[in-house]
Amino acid sequence: MSAHGNIIVITIITMLLCGLADSETYTVGDNGRWEFGVGDWPNGKSFNSGDVLVFNYDPSVHNVVIVSQENYDSGTASGTTLNSGHDSVTLSSETSYYICGVNAHCQGGMKMAVTAS
């Protein structure tokens, strides 16, 4: 590979690493827990694509379901279900919707929408 080619590869790697370094990790909930009333938690925060949300909760009581906007609005727990009690989700540049799929927890306020740029 030529010196010019090496410079291009190094530049691309540096750009990728800088992008990763800019990502933030957020623990969901003002007290660090995914629970009832968490819907306002994203307010005032600026999320970016690549940021990570960490959901901490008791898996015997709650879960996290990644849903469509339609299922978010209706409280339908149809989507990717996470249930470890300590789940990490990497944001993409769009709005992501999360609900608790246990019983009527979503209707009780255990849901959240996060928009990343």
Predicted confidence (pLDDT) per residue in 30-65, tens digit: 888 999 999 999 999 999 999 999 999 999 999 999
Helix locations, 1-117, DSSP H = 3-21, 69-74
CB 65 within 8 A of CB 111: no
CB 109 within 8 A of CB 29: no
Return the closest-CA partner of residue 111 out of 49, 51, 35: 35
Architecture in CATH for domain 24-115: Sandwich (2.60)
Q: Within its chain, how far is the Cα of 93 from the centroid? A: 11
Q: Report, as an integer, the average pLDDT of 74-82.
A: 96
Torsion of CA 11, 12, 17, 19, to 10 degrees: 110
